[in-house]
Chains A and B, each alone.
Chain A
Amino acid sequence: MKIVIRRAVVGGVFVLAAAASSAFAETTLNALFMSQSAYSEADVRAMTDEFTAANPDVTVNLEFVPYEGLRDKTILAQGSGSGYDVVLFDVIWPAEYAENGILLDVTDRVTADMTAGVLPGAWTTVDYNGAHYGMPWILDTKYLFYNKDILAQAGIAAPPKTWEELTQQAQIIKDMGLLDTPIVWSWAQAEAVICDYTTLVSAYEGSFLTDGAPSFQTGGGLDALNYMVDSYNAGLTNPNSKEFLEEDVRRVFQNGEAAFALNWTYMYNLANDPAESKVAGNVGVVPAPGVAGKSEVSAMNGSMGLGVTATSQHPDEAWKLVEYLTSQPVQNKYARLSLPIWASSYDDPAITAGQEELIAAAKVGLAAMYPRPTTPNYQELSVALQQAIQEALLGQATPQDALATAAENSGI
């Protein structure tokens, strides 16, 4: 009881001190975050509350928008010359942001400890032309999730190691009548479909751009789309995938209506939560498969970083917030929905406990992350590719023609 009272008094003094100091040196930071997948809104609020408790002279205004709104908000705020101090950004935007002077080059602020401690692959999330434009924060790739129960019923001993095997296993499940369409993906006309496609491109050793010109319309890029279309036409892929985003995939998978699903890290703990999911305890996760003779596994870089805007009036405080949110203790504490960027966390029993399978998959997957093209014209390329993939799936064009058209309309 005494301790409680003492804590209350000390806490009260802190609050008073905070109120007093804020009267003198109040800094308000505006920060833009995303309200879907990875860290939950509650997690981000808790993290920033801890930060402001430790830095009483700083207040942080948080704004949460859907993923689709992040880029628009950031760019428009920049255009008006004021707005956010800290922004969350996707791995595909640093090129555009750097070219347009939206983000501060923070290369000099990154310490040697950070460089040594963060997984080397994570830096590709925030790098452009050899400079760091922020800190990686959400380290993510697409994993292959599977329903252990359904695989056991089908007599399948181990999840697929290659995409070909995935097709065979799905066929077995379909033939046994366990499920009509065993695989579910996020193939809506959105960035989500590009993420699934990129995973396959990495498996088939394709490339998006060669010497600055589109090259996805041949070789591995074409093989990847052919795989998608074949799986769709064979009835192995849930046909509704073409209107699904990641959350739809999660719902289908956790209702037990899919044996296989491609999705981000966050699905693992949610699909294993009995309050949310009908398949809790039956969720298996492995790195996305490879292609015989080409790759062992496949993965794409779906990470996101935190950066300080070039228009921020308080770059030092803003960087302090970024440093705090991306620090190892904070990331370790909130490692249920998003895994840390710090290499040593992956061997920390406190992190791995209860999610050993996910950590094992992450160790392999994160090391194999394949990037989407780094170009300031990424959006145009992405929109053209989204259309091409959907036209091929709907049979409006052959994969070859669709990708050739996309290459022409890619703005590159």
Chain B
Amino acid sequence: MSRTWLTTRAWLLMLPLLAVMVGVIGWPLAETVRLSFTDAKLIGSGGDYVGFANYAKMLSGAAFQKTLWTTLWFALSSVTIEMVVGVLAALLLNQRFYGRTLLRAMMILPWALPTVVNATLWRLIYNPEYGAANAALMQIGLIDSYRSWLGEPGSAMWAIILADAWKNFPLVTLIALAALQAVPRDTIAASLVDGAGAFQRFRHVTLPHLVGPLMVALVLRTIEAFKVFDIIWIMTRGGPANTTRTLSILVYQEGFSFQRAGSGASLALIVTLIVSVLALTYGMLLRKSAGSTV
């Protein structure tokens, strides 16, 4: 069989799938790009071509710059906490102890919760009148009066970050735990014989095996965190005074609340572009680190 025929056959076999992908991904994307250059409303006629006016308006708006920082703040903090706590939890669950299997299984629970449920749950925990957070912190003496966690600009974002990290760190743990199984026991034994301490063992023996898989977790989580909408919308709707309004919420307001599909689409594409740049950068780092560890 000729090489050309093989290639042609491969493409032919993939054709149905490609057609579906063009239909469900390509067409909406192309339509969004088209919309972003028009002044289309959400309902009604298609709108007129306005060039880059939407992009200029969105990028120069004070709301965009403020929400970009808010989004970065959320994504960086949330992902950092998830990575650190996730790896520590994985190291713990990699030890041999009674009840380890049960604990490993339970670990999945937060991640398995739908975001809507998680957000509602944490909203209740943070409730300023009867929430568990206030009661618990008061009893152990960390605060001297009940506080409005989601109502104060200083604490609202951190409260959401904590809720998001709680839900998502198990993903990092799972990935890290899987990677830990690949760390050769004899290398660890050898380093013990060489007199390496716990931290040195982690830094020089365990960590190199974790870097690759952790990069994957990092890419996935950063992209997800950057696109965050649901958990914030349910917990604060972007309040108080827009301190927790992220880019996705801004897109929603522009496109749906204000019915400006055109500028909403341009903002959505700007967000997509930022996320793509992040993903590509990570991808390059990933390839580099994969080259260095394998």
Interface residues of A, Cβ cutoff 8 Å to B? 72, 75-76, 78-79, 96, 100-102, 188-190, 239-240, 242-243, 248, 251-252, 255, 257, 377, 379-380, 383, 386-387, 390-391, 394, 396, 411
Contact = CB atoms under 8 A, between A and B. Distances in A.
B237 A189 contact: yes
A68 to B, nearest CB: 8
Interface in B213-243: 236-242
Contacts of A100: 41, 43-44, 259
Contacts of A96: 259
B153 interface: yes
B253 interface: yes
A379 B257 contact: yes
A75 B44 CA distance: 11
Contacts of B257: 379-380, 383
Contacts of B148: 239-240, 242-243
Interface of B: 41-44, 127-130, 148, 150-153, 236-242, 253, 256-259
B138 to A, nearest CB: 15
A79 B42 contact: yes
B238 A189 contact: yes
Nearest to A97: B43
Given A75-B259, A76-B256, A188-B239, 16 more contacts: A96-B259, A100-B259, A101-B43, A101-B44, A102-B43, A189-B240, A189-B241, A240-B148, A242-B148, A242-B151, A243-B128, A243-B239, A248-B129, A251-B129, A383-B258, A390-B240
B276 to A, nearest CB: 27
B256 A189 contact: no
Nearest to B63: A409
Given A383-B253, A390-B240, A391-B241, A75 B151 contact: no
B264 to A, nearest CB: 13
A41 to B, nearest CB: 18
A189 B129 contact: no
Does more than half of chain B's interface fall in helix, strand or loop, or is it mixed? loop
Contact of B150 (A102, A243, A391, A394): A243
Contact of B256 (A72, A251, A252, A255): A72
B238 A240 contact: no
B43 A188 contact: no
| Residue of A72, A188, A243 with highest tally of chain B CB at under 10 A | A243
6 A-B pairs with the lowest CB-CB distances in the bound complex, closest first: A189-B239, A243-B151, A390-B241, A240-B128, A391-B241, A379-B257
Nearest to B235: A243
Nearest to A396: B241
A239 B129 CA distance: 11
19 contacts: A75-B259, A76-B256, A78-B43, A100-B43, A101-B43, A188-B239, A189-B237, A189-B241, A240-B129, A243-B151, A243-B236, A243-B240, A248-B129, A251-B129, A255-B129, A257-B129, A379-B258, A383-B258, A391-B241
Contacts of A387: 241-242
B236 A189 contact: yes
B42 A380 contact: no
Nearest to B41: A100
Contacts of B253: 383
Contacts of B41: 100
Contacts of B44: 100-101
A240 B151 contact: yes
A67 to B, nearest CB: 12
B239 A390 contact: yes
A307 to B, nearest CB: 15
Given A78-B43, A240-B129, A240-B151, A188 B258 contact: no
A72 B253 CA distance: 11
Contacts of B150: 243
A188 B241 contact: no
A190 B241 contact: no
| Residue of A78, A252, A387, A396 with highest tally of chain B CB at under 10 A | A387
A102 B42 CA distance: 12
Contact of B241 (A101, A377, A394): A394
Contacts of A79: 42-43
Contacts of A75: 42-43, 256, 259
A189 B238 CA distance: 8
A244 to B, nearest CB: 8
Contacts of A411: 258
